[in-house]
Chain A
Amino acid sequence: MNPAVFEIGKFARLTVIWLSIIFGAVWAACWAVGVFAPALINASGMPTETASLASEVLRALVPVVAVAVFIPINAMFMVLCERRALALFTVRKGPNRVGPDGLLQTAADAVKLLFKEDITPHGADAVMFTAAPIIFFAPSIIGVLPLLAAASGNHELFRSVNLPTGIFYVLAIASIPVVGIVMGGWASNNKYSLVGALRSAAQAISYEIPLVLSIVAVCLMAGTLDVVKIADQQKDSLLSWNIFGGGALLPYVNLVVAGLQGNNEQVQAIMQHFQAQPLGPFAAVLMVVCCIIFFGIYITGACAEVNRIPFDLPEAESELVSGYNTEYSGIKFAIFFLAEFTNLFVVCSIASIMFLGGGHAPLPGLEQGFTEMLGGILKQLPGSKEIFSPGWLINSLVNPSTVSQAFWIILKTYSLVIFAILIRATLPRFRIDQLMAFGWKRLIPLSLILLIALTYLRELV
Chain B
Amino acid sequence: MAPEKIEALTSTRLKTDEMIINMGPQHPATHGVLRLLLTLDGEFVKHVEPVVGHLHRAQEWQGQNRTWFQYQALIDRVDYLSGMFTSWAMARAAEKVDGCQVPLRGEYMRVIVSEMNRITSHLLWLGTYGIDLGAMFGFPFYPFREREKLLDLLEAISGQRMMFNYIRIGGVQSEAPPGWFAKVSEFVKEFPDRVDEYEAILTNNPIFIKRTKGVGILKKQLALDYGVTGPSLRASGVPLDLRKTKPYSVYDRLKFEVPIHEGDGDTFDRYVLRVKEMRESNEILRQCLEQIPGGTADELRERRKACNSCGKADCSNCGGDLMIMAKKQNAGLRIKAGEGFDAIESPRGILGCYIISTGGDTAYRFKWRNPSFCNLAALPDLLIDHPIADIMAIFGSIDVILPDVDR
Contact = CB atoms under 8 A, between A and B. Distances in A.
Specify whether A and B are partners: yes
Interface in B127-151: 130-142, 145
What 5 pairs between A and B have smallest CB-CB spacing?
Answer: A429-B134, A425-B138, A318-B29, A90-B141, A428-B133
27 contacts: A86-B138, A90-B139, A191-B19, A309-B135, A318-B133, A318-B134, A318-B136, A318-B392, A319-B388, A319-B392, A320-B388, A424-B138, A425-B137, A426-B135, A426-B139, A426-B201, A427-B135, A428-B130, A428-B133, A428-B139, A428-B211, A429-B211, A431-B210, A431-B390, A432-B387, A433-B43, A434-B210
B313 interface: no
A317 interface: yes
Given A318-B28, A319-B389, A428 B135 contact: yes
Given A424-B138, A431-B389, A432-B389, A91 B145 contact: yes
Given A321-B28, A429-B134, 11 more contacts: A90-B138, A90-B139, A90-B142, A317-B28, A317-B134, A318-B132, A318-B133, A424-B137, A430-B211, A431-B210, A434-B211
Interface in B289-347: none
A137 interface: no
B209 to A, nearest CB: 10
Interface string A395-429: 00000000000000000000000000000111111
A89 B138 contact: yes
A431 B387 CA distance: 8
Nearest to B391: A319
Interface string A70-94: 0000000000000000100111100
A316 interface: yes
Contacts of A316: 134, 389
B21 interface: yes
B205 interface: yes
B207 interface: yes
Given A91-B145, A316-B134, A424-B138, A321 B207 contact: no
Interface in A45-92: 86, 89-92
A192 interface: yes
B57 interface: no
Interface in A338-362: none
A428 B391 contact: no
Interface string B364-404: 00000000000000000000000111111000000000000
Nearest to B202: A428
A20 B387 CA distance: 47
B56 interface: no
A115 B303 CA distance: 65
Contact of A310 (B43, B134, B137, B391): B134
Contacts of A425: 137-138
Nearest to A318: B29
A312 interface: yes
A319 B386 CA distance: 13
B27 interface: yes
Interface string A173-196: 000000000000000000110010
Interface in A302-326: 309-310, 312-313, 316-321
B257 to A, nearest CB: 29
Nearest to A311: B134
Contacts of B130: 428
B211 A431 contact: yes
B191 interface: no
Interface of A: 86, 89-92, 191-192, 195, 309-310, 312-313, 316-321, 424-434
Chain B, interface residues (CB within 8 Å), range: 20 to 34
Contacts of B207: 310, 427-430
Contacts of A430: 134, 207, 210-211
A338 to B, nearest CB: 19
Contacts of A428: 130, 133-135, 139, 205, 207-208, 211
Interface in B83-117: none
Contacts of B210: 430-431, 434
Contacts of B29: 317-319
B207 to A, nearest CB: 5
Which of B43, B134, B201 counts the most chain A CB atoms within 10 A? B134
Contacts of B391: 319
A429 B133 contact: yes
B28 A309 contact: no
Contacts of A320: 388
Contacts of B389: 313, 316, 319, 429, 431-432
B77 to A, nearest CB: 25
B137 to A, nearest CB: 5
A195 B131 CA distance: 20
Nearest to A320: B388
Contact of B136 (A91, A92, A317): A317
Contacts of B140: 90
A428 B389 CA distance: 12
Given A319-B392, A430-B207, A312 B134 contact: yes
Contact of B135 (A313, A429, A432): A429
Contacts of A433: 43, 387
Given A192-B21, A318-B392, A91 B28 contact: no
A453 to B, nearest CB: 25
A92 B144 CA distance: 10
Contacts of B141: 90-92
Given A428-B133, A428-B207, A195 B388 contact: yes
Interface in B216-234: none
Contacts of A321: 27-28
B405 to A, nearest CB: 19
A431 B214 CA distance: 13
Nearest to A434: B210
A133 B138 CA distance: 28
Contacts of A429: 133-136, 207, 211, 389
A91 B144 CA distance: 10
B22 to A, nearest CB: 8
A451 B390 CA distance: 36
A320 B24 CA distance: 11
A321 B24 CA distance: 10
Contacts of B388: 195, 319-320
Interface string B145-167: 10000000000000000000000
Interface string B28-41: 11000000000000
Contacts of B27: 321
A82 to B, nearest CB: 9
Contacts of B145: 91
B148 to A, nearest CB: 10
A90 B139 CA distance: 7
Nearest to A435: B389
A432 to B, nearest CB: 6
A193 B132 CA distance: 19
A191 B138 contact: no
A321 B22 CA distance: 12
Nearest to B21: A191
Contacts of A195: 43, 388
A316 B141 CA distance: 19
Contacts of A90: 137-142
A307 to B, nearest CB: 12
Contacts of B205: 427-428
B43 A432 contact: yes
